[in-house]
Amino acid sequence: MATKSHTPLIVGNWKMNPATLGKARKLFLDVRKEVGRKKMETQVAVAPPFPFLSELQRLSPSQRIGLSAQDVYFESIGAHTGEVSLPMLRSVGVSSVIVGHSERRAAGESDEEIYKDVQAIFKSSLTAIVCVGEQVRDQHGNYFSVVEAQLRSAVRDVPKTKLKQLVVAYEPVWAIGTGDHATPEDVQEMKLFIQKIIADVFDRSAIKKVRVLYGGSVKAKNAQELLTVGTVDGFLIGGASLKAKEFGKIVHTAEAYAKTSV
């Protein structure tokens, strides 16, 4: 039987989808229906594009489905055209923020900018979902050093008292949107490696406070094995989160795992 150490967290990253507010409203309502009304151990959140956040907050007054932001700018206010701040996000019900997603890194976001974002998020008492992951896997294991450098840079100076606000999402870039995914065994190996880094940066007790998610072509058909063999604490889901039924199946798979694990 699998052993879980954390309440599962399932986050749907809608990226730049759907095209209109009306379609976003429909998707959210469909997701809400698929997730259902029963009380669950599993935490569920979606990260829609910024313009849709306010409307989705209105559709989820109980916050049964939480709202996450896809990015943030570390300054609170000022002459920063096109940026969105934490006070703005908090005002529309956001409780967590995705930081350092591979697509943002590819667009030029630096480790230093990610570090500043993480610091700002913790000061605002929101949850930071810090993304790490390699572009490619090599037979010599050099990708471990890539993940380590990204993680150490992002979480340096994080107070131990804030660790429950930290979530690490492992998302190998080669698996995002490709249909390929890391094997459950590879995912477990990386989770243990991430926990080793967390223990080294903080201490061993920190492992029990920080959830480790997996992202990269997660689907209903591979979710259970990624949870039971990969032993991750949930998922950061891209494409499958745009299909309400598929996303709902993943959520319920995680919930079944949460109830049967000890």
* Strand, helix or coil for residue 127: strand
| Residues known to be catalytic | 101, 171
Residue 222: burial class (beta carbons within 10 Å; 0-12, 13-18, 19+) = middle
Quick one: angle between helices 143-155 and 111-123, nearest 10?
Answer: 40
pLDDT score, position 63: 84
**Which among 167, 89, 93, 84 is positioned nearest to 129, based on CA atoms?**
167
pLDDT score, position 130: 98
What are the chain's domains?
A: 9-260 (3.20.20.70)
Cα–Cα distance, 216 to 103 (Å, whole number)? 12
Q: How many CB atoms lie within 10 A of CB 108?
A: 7
pLDDT tens over the chain, length 262 residues: 344 567 899 999 999 999 999 999 999 999 999 999 888 999 999 999 999 999 999 998 888 999 999 999 999 999 999 999 999 999 999 999 999 999 999 899 999 999 999 999 999 999 999 999 988 777 767 889 999 999 999 999 999 999 999 999 999 987 777 667 789 999 999 999 999 999 999 999 999 999 999 999 899 999 999 999 999 999 999 999 999 999 999 999 999 999 886 5
Would you say 194 and 150 are in contact if contact means Cβ atoms under 8 Å apart?
no
pLDDT score, position 118: 97
pLDDT score, position 127: 97
Would you say 53 and 89 are in contact if contact means Cβ atoms under 8 Å apart?
yes
Tally the residues of the chain: 262
pLDDT score, position 261: 65
**Which among 53, 67, 64, 44 is positioned nearest to 25, based on CA atoms?**
53
**Which among 127, 162, 158 is positioned nearest to 47, based on CA atoms?**
127
